[in-house]
Amino acid sequence: AQSVTQLDSQVPVFEEAPVELRCNYSSSVSVYLFWYVQYPNQGLQLLLKYLSGSTLVKGINGFEAEFNKSQTSFHLRKPSVHISDTAEYFCAVKGQAGTALIFGKGTTLSVSS
């Protein structure tokens, strides 16, 4: 079985500052890792995913994440955030083909001017 822990429930930052949202996972098998963003009363939008290969993954909206197998982490980063990045961010893990995504509890990113 897989599980995901998002270490910060809320992350307040100022506009143009860098941000890191932390995610750790546990699994007994190889996994795929994802980051999604959710705006209020909307579905989920995929930011990026790690399937295999390069451990540094670049996604949309300037976000990137690094897969660290030894630390079982998949932290999300952005060098300079915008007000429009304010949203809920979910880290998710998936094991074998055909299985559902398992989500972390989410991190609320609040960007202020």
- Could you tell me the two tokens for 57? 């993954």
Angle ∠(92,97,100) on CA atoms, nearest 5: 40
53 belongs to the binding site for other proteins (CB under 8 A) = no
Choice between 43 and 113, CB closer to other proteins: 43
Query: What is the per-residue binding string for other proteins in 6-45, x denoting contact by CB under 8 A?
Result: --------------------------x-x-x----xxxxx
d(CA 31, CA 27): 7
Choice between 80 and 110, CB closer to other proteins: 110
55 belongs to the binding site for other proteins (CB under 8 A) = no
